[in-house]
Amino acid sequence: MNTVQLPIVNPPLKGFLRWAYTLSITSSYEETKPWYYSNFIQLSCNKDFLENSTQFYVDFFRGKPNELNYNNPFLLTCAVNYVILDHLHIDDFPKFFADLIRSRYYCVVFIDESRLSLAASYQKESFPHHLLLYGFDWEQEIFYASMFDNQGIYRNVQIPFREIQEAVHSMQQLLDSKRTFDHHTYLYKCIPHSDYTFDKTAAVDQLRDYLNGETHLNRINYNFDQDEAFGIKIYDYLQLYFDAVERDDSRLVRRNDVRHLHVLWEHKQLMSERIGYLIDEGVIPYDEELVQGFKDISNRAKKLRDQYIRHEIRYDREVFPRLKLRFEQFREEEPILLQKLIALLLA
């Protein structure tokens, strides 16, 4: 087989690649929907980003380890680091990845993205990052890949073998000089199965954690992380972050303003979709307040993200009081709707 493309779909979540890559593989299978809607309820963020001058993030939380690392029940996962990969000659990497794809393994490779001509970081400062390879054309010497391109758009692209070799070689040099840490290359084989039904217990558990601003996932293997805020409490830190943006606080590093608002919208959109799914599947009865409530929150969250994008093109100070108003509204409205959802799930 000189040309192979493994099946992928446009992923439902794109805020972070750990979700985009894994869900682009599994979301093409109907069997995975009950699992998807049983999860992705909790949010987390880091709290001491100003004091520690670290990058602020808001993200979905499904416990530890993160989704790339053995956390999706429909993916058979193998992880390899550069201690292993360094045994390959640089000319061997195209065949190595192509043979894995032939064996139906998706390859999420850890490379220096600044060596890829379609990347925003191309020919700039080194940028260690993961890249999904889902196919190849051996005669044209290209890989089929998914990534955020130089326009910030997540899409499927074609990358020459030569650029992958350069990106791998550059990563080897970064690791040898200890300028970064090895985040591993992950190999996934999708094994969908149909015995996962919507898990009311798991959903209610996450909903309660969200409302209480806490988590108790993984406490057998991991201590509770005091550096993170969960659920409803993230609004405090979103406000703290955008207050710092408004005053141009020098302690902010690697700002990613729109991503925070995009993830917030993805969360509200998914909550709205989840309610529709539960009604369609007969898990809960139709409830007008619940359906319209989260649809309205989702629409306002999307509008807020889009307004901020326009603000970044043409500065508008009015966006900051608008952010504060929306965060306050969401924090007030969500508990009412989520308590109703819990009651319906437990009825």
Q: What is the DSSP string of 192-241?
A: --S-----HHHHHHHHHHHHHT---TTTTTS---TTEEEGGGHHHHHHHH
pLDDT of residue 219: 77
In tens, the pLDDT along 113-133 reads 999 999 999 999 999 999 999
Determine what percent of the chain is predicted with pLDDT higher than 70.
99
What integer is the mean pLDDT of 34-47?
96
In degrees and rounded to multiples of 5, residue 323 shows phi and psi of: -60, -45
Q: Judging by beta carbons within 10 Å of its beta carbon (0-12, 13-18, 19+), is residue 143 exposed, middle or buried?
A: buried
How many other C-beta atoms can be found within 10 angstroms of the C-beta atom of residue 7?
13
Q: Tell me the mean pLDDT in the region 261-283.
A: 98
Residue 51 has pLDDT above 90, yes or no: yes
Q: Half-sphere exposure of residue 280, counting CA atoms within 13 Å on the CB side? A: 9
Q: Is the pLDDT of residue 71 over 90?
A: no
Residue type, 277: Y
Q: Which of these, 84, 73, 67, lies nearest to 16 by C-alpha position?
A: 67
Q: For residue range 208-218, what is the model confidence (pLDDT) as tens digits?
A: 999 999 998 87
167 — pLDDT class (breaks 50, 70, 90): very high
pTM: 0.95
Contacts of residue 66, defined as CB under 8 A and 6 or more positions apart, other chains included, come to 18
Residue in the structure block whose two tokens are 């319209």: 292
Q: Which residues contact 341 (CB under 8 A, 6 or more apart)?
A: 207, 275, 284, 290
Contacts of 187 (CB under 8 A, 6+ apart): 77, 78, 79, 80, 100, 105, 106, 107, 108
**Distance (Å, rounded) from C-alpha 211 to C-alpha 166?**
47
**pLDDT at residue 265 is higher than 90:** yes
